[in-house]
């Protein structure tokens, strides 16, 4: 599963593997980090 990351208005970083769980105001800033077990740069 991919992990998605975003930071809210208070500076807290959140992680989820369910894109639908990301609050609408933050969806445009979502970052997809390296997939566990995937290639590393």
Q: Is residue 30 part of a domain?
A: yes
Residue 17 domain-assigned (yes or no): yes
| Residue 22: burial class (beta carbons within 10 Å; 0-12, 13-18, 19+) | middle
Question: Does residue 22 lie within any of the structural domains?
Answer: yes
Q: Using the structure block, give the residue that is written with the tokens 């990351």.
A: 5
From the number of C-beta atoms within 10 Å of its C-beta (0-12, 13-18, 19+), residue 18 rates as exposed
Q: Answer whether residue 20 is part of any domain.
A: yes
pLDDT for the residue 37: 62
Range of the domain at 26: 1-36
Residue 16: Cβ within 10 Å count: 15
pLDDT single digits (tens) 6-38: 999 999 999 999 999 999 999 998 987 666 665
pTM of the model: 0.68
Question: What is the distance between the alpha carbons of residues 27 and 40, in angstroms, rounded to a whole number?
Answer: 24
């Amino acid at each position: 599963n991919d992990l998605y990351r975003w930071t809210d208005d208070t500076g807290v970083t959140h992680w989820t593997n369910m894109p639908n769980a990301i609050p609408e105001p933050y969806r445009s800033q979502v970052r997809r980090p390296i997939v566990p077990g995937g290639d590393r740069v």
